[in-house]
Amino acid sequence: MTENTAQLRADARRNREQIISTAREVFLEQGTHASLEEIARRAGVGIATLYRRFPDRHTLVRQVALENMALVRAEMDRATAEHPDAWGALAQLIRRMVDLRLGVFMPVLAQSLEGDLRGEGGTLKVRRNELLERMGALIRAAQQDGQLREGVTPIDIMLGTIKLSRPLPVIGAELNELLIAQQLELFLGGLHAVALDAAEPLDRQRLTLDDLDRYLKAAE
């Protein structure tokens, strides 16, 4: 991002992206203390390749965080462009953020990313605050339209989104997808100020015990 990633060889850039994308998932599952060797393994890359591109763990975390923020910013632009109403934009943004797996965002939110803030001009903190501020504006607008419940803050949304997208262990990817989809709808429904149609079923696939067992088997 801030690096001269442009002048990398094609395969190198491909690997770099693969590592970041894998790291996003692993960090989401296990936190930023996850094993770097596992990240390399799952990215289909040698451990040396990871270290060459990201000299230490902190650098990797930071890059993932920066990329995440850029993605969120882009989704904000898209959402506000495509939806004239604030609630519509916010809802789409939340959906997209869940898709993006923003796990590493949490340390950023919490300012616990060492080495930033002090030194480096605090790029991450500045961008974090910009993001939260923009989301705050969206929230206020949606509330003035009477479309969003009162008492909701950007932190609520960010933490809620992260928690939502964090997969449960053991139960495999597909089942997690379904669960996330369901809880996302509940989350949005709970945030939306407009009364629910009481009789309306949740719009998603039903989960049964059989599903659970089947997915479990497929996952491992």
Partner DNA sequence: TCGCAAGTGGAGGGAAATCCTTCGCTTTTC
Partner DNA sequence: GAAAAGCGAAGGATTTCCCTCCACTTGCGA
Q: What are residue 148's DSSP bridge partners?
A: 192
> Which of a second copy, DNA, none lies near 213, with the C-beta cut-off 5 to 8 A by kind?
a second copy
| Choice between 15 and 147, CB closer to a second copy | 147
Distance, CA of 219 to CA of 170 (rounded, Å)? 8
Separation of first and last alpha carbons in the chain: 36
Measured over the CA atoms of residue 8, residue 13, residue 43 and residue 161, the dihedral's sign is positive
Residues that bind DNA (CB under 7 A): 8-12, 15, 35-38, 44-49, 51-53, 55-57
Q: How many residues does the chain have?
A: 220
Residues that bind a second copy (CB under 8 A): 31, 106-107, 109-112, 132, 146, 149-156, 159-160, 162-163, 166, 168-171, 179, 182-183, 185-187, 189-191, 193-202, 204, 206-209, 211-213, 216
| Choice between 160 and 167, CB closer to DNA | 167
> Which of a second copy, DNA, none lies near 66, with the C-beta cut-off 5 to 8 A by kind?
none
> Which of DNA, a second copy, none lies near 110, with the C-beta cut-off 5 to 8 A by kind?
a second copy
Smallest gap from residue 11 Cβ to DNA (A): 4
Helix, strand and coil percent figures for the chain, each rounded to 5: 70, 0, 30
**Pair of tokens at residue 42:** 């799952």
CA distances from 21 to 88, 98, 134, 171 (A): 28, 15, 25, 21
Smallest gap from residue 121 Cβ to DNA (A): 24
